[in-house]
Amino acid sequence: MRWLLSSLLLTLTAPVFAADAKVSFYKDVRPILQQNCQGCHQPAKAQGGYVMTEFAALFKAGDSGKFGIVPGKPEVSYLLAEIHVSKDGKSEMPKNGTPLPTPQYLTIENWVKQGALDDTPASALTKEIDAEHPPVYMAPSVITSLAFDPKGKMLAVTGYHEVLLYSVDDLKLQARLVGLSERVQSVAFSPDGKLLAVAGGNPGRFGEVQIWDVEKRKLKISAPVTFDTLFGLTWNPEGTLVAFGCSDNTVRAIDPKTGKQVLQMGTHSDWVLGTAFSQDGLNLASVGRDMSMKLTEVSTQRFVDNVTSITPGGLKGGLMALDRRPLKTKTMAKVPADTPTIGNRVYDELLVAGSDGVPRLYKMHREVKREIGDDSNKIKQFEGMLGRVSAVRFDADGNRFAAASGLDGKGEVAVYDVATGKKSAKCDAITGPAFAVAWAPDGKMLASGGFDGKVWFHDPATGKLLKEFAVLPK
């Protein structure tokens, strides 16, 4: 499943070349390598000692001692031997993935036969970016996501081509996790804090999920998914699945140990921007630009229900922000007779917000039979914010939540009391549109960030600014 869609699309779009037809590395070969190979063969994760993100490195030998590409000699080019599909339909590479379709293999083979020339235009050439050559910032990076580790000692901050780990106490930079993706959209620590999941990609080229070993600062998994950037990443409660949204209108999940895709649901009609698992991990909620929140059964990958109203005009604008409220586990009082269930369904609540600036709280599961035009899962609507809401997060108790928004160059970060539905604190010194928010595990500090590349730490009880810093590593 992981490679099915990408393989199908590339099979349909990749040109079939005659033996003497000119093959372009930049237009024809490079996209195939990006989608199928570079996740495991990049500086941060050079599997087999072979790197495929730099043109010159393609011709070098890896741990095998065999040269990957020998211009004009496909029969001795080790890369071709590794991706060649045998009579039994298998290939050595991509490892644990679907073999390349014949048109893709022939494209690479013909390119090698023709001398393996590099026709990358000068305008597309960029400086190499990896752990040895980290990004150089001329200005602070826009912050799209923040996450505290479970102990509250470390804060993960998104940057360009990387995630930066800062010590919360002294704000010192501890590590730069430089990966393949230019754009990083979402970060989340695993429940035990040992792993960091990252969703991003290169716009218009590929999406990627990264799994990092936090202690070793090592990239464990790089899983390419679809042909555009990924969003709204979240872990299931057991730490055994990572879910995310895609710009091909699907919500997906992978196994963080292997990178294999284990879930795909495709009933959204626009980009999926946020995800949240139920407390028992049996269901997955997702929101997107199609103005809907949908529910998926994890074990069957089956669409279950529209959590929000599906009546045109019921919700105004796309939904971008989603979080599940931490509640003491309890079973639902009742379930509609025509609704499939897996055992006793756990009661969950979901907080959602987006373009209209109004956070709303919903029941995850329907307790009454759906009727056309109803919005029966809705529990409460909260006081509106300044412009589009990009992020919402509950504190550990679920009695408060924080939200970040922006409009016309201005931003707002506010703390809400769930019981009253009102803002209990409005954070001061917000100097631009805010896109990310995160609670310290003890609930005594709130971190937020956004367009101007600053991370703000506030007292959530009063909204007072405690400290701040700009994401501008040197």
Highest mean pLDDT: which of 26-35, 36-45, 58-67, 87-96?
Answer: 58-67
Amino acid letter, residue 323: D
Which region among 41-45, 263-267, 434-438 has the lowest average model confidence (pLDDT)?
41-45
- Region 273-292: mean pLDDT is 95
- Region 317-338: mean pLDDT is 78
Peptide bond before residue 94 is cis, with ω within 30 degrees of 0: yes
pLDDT of 190-244, one tens digit each?
A: 999 999 999 999 998 899 999 999 999 999 999 989 989 999 999 999 999 999 9
Predicted local confidence at residue 336, as pLDDT: 57
Main-chain phi, psi angles of 467, to 5 degrees: -170, 165
- Region 288-297: mean pLDDT is 94
Q: In 73-169, which ranges are continuous DSSP H helix?
A: 78-83, 102-113
Read off the pLDDT band of 56 (50, 70, 90).
confident
Length of the chain: 474
Nearest to 229 by CA among 200, 269, 272: 200
Predicted local confidence at residue 7, as pLDDT: 43
Give the chain's radius of gyration (CA, Å).
23
Predicted local confidence at residue 101, as pLDDT: 86
Highest mean pLDDT: which of 76-85, 151-160, 335-344?
Answer: 151-160
Residue 397 has pLDDT above 90, yes or no: yes
Main-chain phi, psi angles of 59, to 5 degrees: -95, -5
Predicted local confidence at residue 474, as pLDDT: 79
- Region 432-450: mean pLDDT is 97
Which region among 258-272, 339-353, 454-468 has the lowest average model confidence (pLDDT)?
339-353
Amino acid letter, residue 40: C
- From CA 205, how far away is CA 84, in angstroms rounded? 24
Read off the pLDDT band of 108 (50, 70, 90).
confident
Predicted local confidence at residue 126, as pLDDT: 65
Main-chain phi, psi angles of 70, to 5 degrees: -120, 105
- Full set of structural domains in the chain with CATH: 4-119 (no CATH), 146-470 (2.130.10.10)
Q: Which residues contact 380 (CB under 8 A, 6 or more apart)?
A: 360, 361, 418, 421
Q: Which residues, in sequence order, are bridge partners of residue 198? A: 187, 210
Residue 116 has pLDDT above 50, yes or no: yes
- From CA 164, how far away is CA 148, in angstroms rounded? 12
Report whether 427 contacts 461 (CB < 8 A).
Answer: no
pLDDT of 1-45, one tens digit each?
A: 433 444 444 444 444 445 568 988 878 888 788 777 877 887 777
